[in-house]
Every structure is written in C-alpha cells, then in structure tokens.
Amino acid sequence: MRQFFIKAGEQLVTDVKSGTLYLVATPIGNLSDISARALKTLEDVDFIAAEDTRVTRKLLEHYKIKKELVSYFQHNIRTSGEKILARIIDGKNCALVTDAGVPGVSDPGEALVRSCADLGIKINIIPGPSAVVSALAVSGLATERFTFEGFLSVDKKKRTEHLNELKNEKRTMVLYEAPHRLKRSLRDLYKTFGDRHVSISREMTKIYEETLRLTLSEAIDHFDHKPPKGEFVLVIEGISNTADPEDKLEEAIEIATALVTKGMSSRDAVKKAADDTGCSRNALYKIMLNKPK
C-alpha cells in the first residue's frame, strides 16, 4: 500500500485511505447552467472548498444544499490547502469550486490540484461552464487553435514582457481583464499588436450579456466614451490573421534598412526586423542582399 503524506505545521500526517477531490464547474452567471451531476456531487461530498464562500453559499442556498464550506483562496493557499489535503488523506471527499467556471484554471485551485496529483490522490472533473470557451465561441474569430493567457500583470515590466512574447503569436489569444484595468490593457495591446480585431465579452449568460466585435482602436474609443462595467474576456486575433503578408514584408524591409543605416550589420538587422514583424528571415535576408546600396 502506498502512503500519502502532507506536512501540516510541525506534524506529519500519514494515511493510506484517501478520499477524492472533485473539481466542480459552477455557473459563470446564470445559475440554471449548473449540471445535475454537479449538484449531486455538491450534495454528496463531505465538504466544499470555495474561493469565495459568500458566492458559493448563494449557489447552495438557491438549490437548497446544506454543506460545510471551507475558504480556500489566493491568500490562504498554504494554510488552508494543508488542512484540506489532510482531510482528503483521512478519507474525506472534497468538492473544489471557484467563483465562476472551472476551478484550477487561472485560480488558486491549481495549487491544490497539483498537490493532490503529486500525492496520488484521485481527482475527478465535473465539467461545465467556461468563460474562456464561451467567449471564444461567440467571438467570430478563428477557434481551431487558441492560447489562454489569463490576466495581464499589473507590474509594468512584466506586463510589457508578456505582451512582447505574444506579439507574433499566430493563434487566437484569450485574456481576462477587470473593468478598472480594461482601458489600460486595450491601449497596451494596441501599442504592441497594432490595430487587430478583438471580441470583448461581458456579463456572459446574464441579463445584460454583451459581446462587442471591434478593432483595438475602436474598442479604445468605445470605452473612452462608455466606462467599463463587469468582468471582461478579450479574444484577440493572432498575427497570421491580421496584416497582408506583403504589407508585413514591406514593414520588415523598412525596419531592417533603418537599422543598417544606423550601423547595425545586415544579418542582425534582418534578424531584428523578422522577429518584430513575423516575416521569414531567409526571404528578408535575400531581399536585403539584392537591395541597391
């Protein structure tokens, strides 16, 4: 038999009969979107670990479910997480929920899931609503390949580094953003990506559900005149879907030419211009070699 253990304070907890961690997706707005299986799981488990017990309590009260709630959020991941793990190791079944959507994705649940996985504890998923997939589906942008990038950092340096990493991303990108940071994010996206198409969804599944399909410059103008309200999901087209390849090549030639004029070697100038625009380095290098001096 395998032993599971977790250090809780100074005491080493050991046992061989662990319970199960259930990842239960909850509605992203409309309470009717919860599944019958999710409700049964919430009724059957020994306790529920919730990111915000006030939000989860409203859901439980709506469906007349009485169950012990344990707080588990960003600022008590370690202390609460150890206690939750110890109870699961002791044979108790726990349902993990986030405020809305699938727990463990861009929220503190990730740490608990990883810990359970490392210990060999059984983890079951009860799928359901997802803000990422919902916003992507209604965006009107390419959906066959996409990347979820979570929230942009509030730290200026980290934020800039993150956006620069995505500048040449070919897949559709999905971001979360809070209302008080939306306008800043749109300006930073425009500065880094140029004027790409973007789909902006808010209040999904609620009465005032809204999805705007604009360019980044149009979105900036829109929210300059209408203050953002609610939580937002931004879906941004990848670089392969934006500019004409010939336009990008012309831009790359201009960048490389300017760098060479400033004294940079042709090879380094081509590398920099290709990285900045997403153009083929080899194609650009051939053009620069044949360019009149």
Q: For the domain 132-241, what is the CATH code? A: 3.30.950.10
Q: Could you tell me the end-to-end alpha-carbon distance of the chain, in angstroms, rounded to an integer?
A: 76
Give the span between the Cα atoms of 205 and 78, in whole angstroms: 33
- The answer to whether the 4-129 and 132-241 domains have the same CATH topology is no
Q: Which of 83, 93, 87 is nearest to 40 (CA)?
A: 93
Query: What per-residue confidence (pLDDT) applies to 2?
Result: 39
- pLDDT surpassing 70 at residue 67: yes
Give the start-end residues of each E strand in the chain.
Answer: 4-8, 11-15, 20-24, 47-50, 69-71, 94-97, 122-126, 146-151, 172-177, 197-202, 210-215, 232-236
Beta strands in 84-171 (DSSP E): 94-97, 122-126, 146-151
CATH of domain 4-129: 3.40.1010.10
pLDDT at 247: 67
- pLDDT tens digits for range 106-162: 889 999 999 999 999 999 999 999 999 999 999 999 999 999 999 999 999 999 999
Query: Residue 44 contacts by C-beta under 8 Å, 6 or more apart in sequence?
Result: 93
User: How do the domains of the chain map onto residue ranges?
Assistant: 4-129, 132-241, 245-290
